[in-house]
């Protein structure tokens, strides 16, 4: 089998999740991953593809999905067998604070001489803490690390005329005296033209390493192959708990304005994905962010695309925009994050838009043939108390009666807590008192330890002036129960499915109380024993807590992966590799 120069490892949230008894709760109900957060960031594929284009062999191994798919899979044994020039580990969002560090420890244990690099948003935020850990040799900072990682690999491989460590942008490292050096974040590209976001690398890697299992994005992906198309890095908005907000990008990644994918490239990425997958393509980022000209060019380029596409809107839209979307991509689903029914809460969260125009947006979408209209609400927001959460569920009833009046019920509301962590770097994390928040974990190490607490209540890194952690948990389950009943009443879910969801929520509530009792026991050994004893029930309650995860799936018909096409795409990629390479400008 081909040997890789760089092995990119994606860790589970908690490395020992198969042994530990942790009631994760609804932390991942609204994303495709399980609570192990096995989905790796899209940046791993762009780094892999970019380095391959420049002569390095890169292998992505999703340890999390391998561990989830088989109890017998031994991650440590696999790591032991690998011998790359370097290991790369993503620590993008904080739920990986435990697993990522443990995987790095295993790399060092078996290969003390092979460098380990970290990257991702959270790595950037905690670069100084990370670099002082014995498991970590380099941290590559910033939101776009394809070029810095290439330069680091050139350096580590001893290529002639390779840059020295001080010459590598965005790099944090330690010099011979053990002094931490953080090179300036001088690589922050203005656009996303340098990356390929069409998953052709993944197709190629499967054939080269004869290993499909390691690149699967999440458990169950083969049955529901949803993919993402990236329109932007950065954001023009300032949601208070978001580590991807405009202020966080400026402070952490030296990004003054978002980097957009050229609209024609974005449309081509979507068409390329559709060559091997019939699954939905989620366009990350509101396509209106870059302005009208961008939106026009994208909609002109994608016009006639028949595959399922999911779009997200960061605020209300006018009828003309919705009409043009419907015309360009007839198989479209829309997602709107309304956060709360209350305009006051939404404004305090940093989204100052009104209910009226947003409800009109929903009406236009339903009238113009949207396949599904998903509306998201959150718990744990500024100025939001227990009653406000319940009022949000009442508002869902209003939306389902007054806005979606059709018999086919396409408007589907969801509610879930901001969990397990609010992002470091977000306005709220940087200024908790100003926004009415209190944090239980600030450092990387505190977050790492929080992740192995026995229930999500103890994992939560915050509470608010309006709801403590107990109330956040209680309102989540109560809102989940009420919304589930509402969905059954309106036929959005079958009565049988609603009954199952209700039984899961009630079981989760009982288990939360049981965990609370165990936590109050002084004898640590007895605590561990009792927690181990309830592990089977805890594992059972860890999936689809407040709604059934499948509720998020856009319906698909027939075969979802086009395998003959995938094979021909691979051959095409090999031929492309043999062709002369484009000249680099950076
Ligand atoms: S949550 Fe708000 S700030 Fe964060 S990416 Fe979405 S729109 Fe931007």
**Residue showing tokens 């810095």:** 148
Residues 6+ apart with CB under 8 A from 205: 48, 58, 59, 60, 211, 215
pTM of the model: 0.92
Q: How far is the CA of 239 from the centre of ligand 1 (A)?
A: 6
3-state secondary structure of 158: coil
Residue of 239, 240, 243, 425 to mutate, ligand 1, most atoms within 8 A of C-beta: 239
Query: Which residues form the pocket of ligand 1, taking CB atoms under 6 Å from any ligand atom?
Result: 235, 237-239, 242, 244-245, 314
Indicate the pairing of strand 372-379 with strand 332-339: parallel
Q: How far is the CA of 418 from the centre of ligand 1 (A)?
A: 13
User: Is the Cβ–Cβ distance between 454 and 22 less than 8 Å?
Assistant: yes
Q: What is the pLDDT along the chain (586 residues), one digit of tens a residue?
A: 678 999 999 999 999 999 999 998 888 777 888 889 999 999 999 999 999 999 999 999 999 999 999 999 999 999 999 999 999 999 999 999 999 999 999 999 999 999 999 999 999 999 999 999 999 999 999 999 999 999 999 999 999 999 999 999 999 999 999 999 999 999 999 999 988 877 888 888 888 888 899 999 888 888 899 999 999 999 999 999 999 999 999 999 999 999 999 999 999 999 999 998 899 999 999 999 999 999 999 999 999 999 999 999 999 999 999 999 999 999 999 999 999 999 999 999 999 999 999 999 999 999 999 999 999 999 999 999 999 999 999 999 999 999 998 888 999 999 999 999 999 999 999 999 999 999 999 999 999 999 999 999 999 999 999 999 999 999 999 999 999 999 999 999 999 999 999 999 999 999 999 999 999 999 999 999 999 999 998 988 887 677 776 777 776 655 556 644 554 544 444 444 444 443 333 3
pLDDT score of 38: 93
Q: How far is the CA of 566 from the centre of ligand 1 (A)?
A: 34
Residues 6+ apart with CB under 8 A from 554: 226, 280, 308, 310, 333, 371, 372
Indicate the pairing of strand 332-339 with strand 281-284: unpaired
DSSP 167-183: GSTTEEEE-TTS-EEE-
Q: How far is the CA of 240 from the centre of ligand 1 (A)?
A: 9
- Token pair, residue 419, equals 């969990």
CA 153 to chain centre: 26
Q: Whose CA is nearest to atom 3 of ligand 1?
A: 245
**CA trace torsion 354, 332, 400, 24 (10° rounding):** -90
The C-alpha atoms of residue 515 and residue 517 are separated, in whole angstroms, by 5
Q: How far is the CA of 257 from the centre of ligand 1 (A)?
A: 14
Q: Whose CA is nearest to atom 5 of ligand 1?
A: 244
Residues 6+ apart with CB under 8 A from 562: 275, 276, 277, 278
Residue of 121, 241, 244, 347 to mutate, ligand 1, most atoms within 8 A of C-beta: 244
Q: How far is the CA of 531 from the centre of ligand 1 (A)?
A: 37
Backbone φ and ψ for 528, nearest 5 degrees, come out as -60, -45
Per-residue burial over 336-357, b if 16 or more Cβ lie within 10 Å, else e, is bbbbbbbeebbebbbbeeebee
The length of the chain is 586
Which helix (H) or strand (E) covers residue 226, if one does?
none
Question: Hey, which residues does 281 pair with through a beta bridge?
Answer: 227, 309
3-state secondary structure of 505: helix
Number of H helices, E strands in the chain: 24, 17
- Show the 3-state SS of 99-112: HHHHHHHHHHHHCC
Residue of 231, 235, 290, 423 to mutate, ligand 1, most atoms within 8 A of C-beta: 235
The C-alpha atoms of residue 478 and residue 390 are separated, in whole angstroms, by 8
The C-alpha atoms of residue 183 and residue 127 are separated, in whole angstroms, by 11
Residue of 240, 242, 350, 426 to mutate, ligand 1, most atoms within 8 A of C-beta: 242
- Token pair, residue 433, equals 């008192």
Nearest to 139 by CA among 126, 151, 153: 126
Ligand 1 atom at minimum distance from 235 CA: 8
- Token pair, residue 69, equals 């798919």
CB-count burial class (<10 Å; 0-12, 13-18, 19+) for 158: exposed
Q: How far is the CA of 345 from the centre of ligand 1 (A)?
A: 16
């Amino acid at each position: 089998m081909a040997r890789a120069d760089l092995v990119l490892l994606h860790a589970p949230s908690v490395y020992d999740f198969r042994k530990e008894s942790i009631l994760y709760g609804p932390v991942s109900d609204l994303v495709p991953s399980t609570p192990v957060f096995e989905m790796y960031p899209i940046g791993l594929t762009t780094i892999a593809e970019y380095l391959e284009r420049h002569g390095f062999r890169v292998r992505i191994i999703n340890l999390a999905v391998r561990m989830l798919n088989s109890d017998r899979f031994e991650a440590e044994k696999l790591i032991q067998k690998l011998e790359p020039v370097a290991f790369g580990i993503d620590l993008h969002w904080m739920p990986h604070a435990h697993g990522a560090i443990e995987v790095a420890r295993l790399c060092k244990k078996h290969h003390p001489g092979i460098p380990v690099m970290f990257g991702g948003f959270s790595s950037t935020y905690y670069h100084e803490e990370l670099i002082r850990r014995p498991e970590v040799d380099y941290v590559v900072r910033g939101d776009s690390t394809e070029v810095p990682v290439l330069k680091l690999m050139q350096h580590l491989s001893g290529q002639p005329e390779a840059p020295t460590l001080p010459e590598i942008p965005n790099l944090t490292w330690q010099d011979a005296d053990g002094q931490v050096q953080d090179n300036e974040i001088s690589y922050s590209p203005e656009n996303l033209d340098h990356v390929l976001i069409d998953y052709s690398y993944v197709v190629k890697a499967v054939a080269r390493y004869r290993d499909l299992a390691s690149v699967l994005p999440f458990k169950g992906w083969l049955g529901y192959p949803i993919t993402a198309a990236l329109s932007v890095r950065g954001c023009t908005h300032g949601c208070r708990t978001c580590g991807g907000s405009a202020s966080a990008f400026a402070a952490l990644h030296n990004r003054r304005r978002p980097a957009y994918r050229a609209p024609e490239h974005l449309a081509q990425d979507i068409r390329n994905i559709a060559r091997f997958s019939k699954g939905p393509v989620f366009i990350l980022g509101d396509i209106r962010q870059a302005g009208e000209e961008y939106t026009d060019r994208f909609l002109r380029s994608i016009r006639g695309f028949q595959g399922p596409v999911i779009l997200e809107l960061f605020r209300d839209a006018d009828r003309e925009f919705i009409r043009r979307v419907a015309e360009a991509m007839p198989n479209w689903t829309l997602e709107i994050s309304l956060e709360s029914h209350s305009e006051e809460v939404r404004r305090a969260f940093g989204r100052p838009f009104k209910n009226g125009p947003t409800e009109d947006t929903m009406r236009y979408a339903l009238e113009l043939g949207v396949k599904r209209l998903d509306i998201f609400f959150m718990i744990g927001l500024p100025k939001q108390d227990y009653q406000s959460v319940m009022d949000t569920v009442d508002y869902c009833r209003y939306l389902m009666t007054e806005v979606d009046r059709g018999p086919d019920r396409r408007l589907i509301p969801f509610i879930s807590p901001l969990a397990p962590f609010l992002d470091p770097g977000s306005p709220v994390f940087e200024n908790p008192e100003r926004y009415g928040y209190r944090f239980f974990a600030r450092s990387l190490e505190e977050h790492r330890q929080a992740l192995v607490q026995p229930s999500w209540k103890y994992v939560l890194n915050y509470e608010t002036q309006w709801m403590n952690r107990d109330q956040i948990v209680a309102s989540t389950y109560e809102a989940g129960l009420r919304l589930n009943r509402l969905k059954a009443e309106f036929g959005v879910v079958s009565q049988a499915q609603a009954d199952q969801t209700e039984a899961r929520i009630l079981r989760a509530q009982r288990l939360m109380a049981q965990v609370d009792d165990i936590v109050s026991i002084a004898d640590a050994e007895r605590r561990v024993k009792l927690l181990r004893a309830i592990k089977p029930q805890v594992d059972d309650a860890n999936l689809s807590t407040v709604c059934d995860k499948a509720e998020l799936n856009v319906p698909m018909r027939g075969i979802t992966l086009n395998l003959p096409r995938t094979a021909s795409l691979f051959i095409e990629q090999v031929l492309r590799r043999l062709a002369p390479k484009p000249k680099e400008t950076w």
